[in-house]
Amino acid sequence: MPLRPALRRLAVLGLLLGGLSSPLFDAASAHADTPVFPSSSRFGFQPPSDMAPSKRFMGFERLEGGAMVSVVELPGGAYGEIEKSFTDDNLKSQGFAVESRETVKVSGGLEATLLVGGQSPPPAPPADGSGGAAPDAPALPADLPTVRKWLLLVNGPDVTGIVVAQMTPGAETDETMKGMLLGVTLRPALTLDQQVEALPFRINDLAGFRPVRALAGNSLLLTRGASDQPTNLEQPILVLAQAVQQPPTAEQRDAFARAALYSNQTMKDFMIERSQSYRQNGIDWHEIVARANDIPTGQAVVITQTIRFAPDGYLRSLGVVRADQRDQTLALFRQVVDSVQLR
């Protein structure tokens, strides 16, 4: 599938180089005998024995502190465009100072590019609370140090992988980290059913919707209609995504929900019809219904955003439908969301 111009000048970079900060660990040298694959990922590794698949993103981390490895999977054939976009200047603008880059071969003889350098911590958000990270981004630790970072771009036959590893300086040798990355293993594509089964939640009532794509091991795109790739919003779409991070307090939830809604860069001219918190079956929720204009098509749309809060995170749903289809669709969005159970 074609990529948008350099992935919107690599919105991916924001995810890889600034949005996945995590605690760092004192890496152990022991490795498993067989590759470990993060949920839904095609890329497997032999991580240190004290690292485990992350619940927050596709990859590995050790919560006690130390390092992380994250994986982003893109369509096959994206390697050339992404590799050209990974210039030293582009990466530097994201805080990643490249010290070296080389063309390498990884497990199975796949072509790859490895970049090594240092990642500067992102600037602190303004004191007035404006700006800062998107609502779904993991919270950043205070006084985050400059870290050692490795970025591996893998050219698979039908998938492109971007693997990012980072740790505090001196926590492990470059040779050990490089060996871990170059040992990456690619497995066959998972079926959509397998990806859905691996998600951290289960949908008990699809209400006529059907899954069309699982993302990052924690998100699912659904639609209602004949096309798997609806264009021009001829079909309603619904996205469910779970985030494992500290949820906002009750007093912060309305502002949090509005910021999450406004972060959607494909919509403009938001007009909120309703924004309210409520409690249902012992669970805290927040729901927004809003009108907006879809930027690519110029069509008037209606958006419903429902956030289900838990002690260690939240589940966010976002439904989008053409304004002339709202009456028969909004109740169906809610029907799906109400049926979701966390695993």
| Residues 6+ positions from 10 with CB-CB distance below 8 Å | 82, 85, 86, 90
- The pLDDT score that the predictor gives to residue 123 is 60
C-alpha span between 151 and 86 (Å, rounded): 10
- The pLDDT score that the predictor gives to residue 229 is 80
Beta strand spans in the chain (E): 43-44, 52-53, 59-61, 67-75, 96-106, 110-119, 147-155, 159-167, 185-186, 201-203, 210-215, 219-223, 237-244, 267-280, 283-294, 300-310, 313-322, 340-342
- The pLDDT score that the predictor gives to residue 283 is 92
pLDDT, averaged in runs of 10, over the chain (343 residues):
41 41 34 76 86 82 77 90 94 93 91 92 54 45 72 95 86 76 92 92 96 89 89 91 88 95 93 95 95 94 96 94 95 96 88
- The pLDDT score that the predictor gives to residue 58 is 85
Go through the domains of the chain in sequence order and give each one's CATH number. 43-119+144-186 (3.40.1000.10), 192-342 (3.40.1000.10)
C-alpha span between 331 and 29 (Å, rounded): 53
Question: What single DSSP character describes residue 87?
Answer: -
The dihedral region occupied by 337, where left means phi > 0, alpha psi between -120 and 50, and beta the remainder, is alpha
C-alpha span between 155 and 42 (Å, rounded): 13
CB atoms under 10 Å from CB of 170, counted, come to 8
- The pLDDT score that the predictor gives to residue 149 is 93
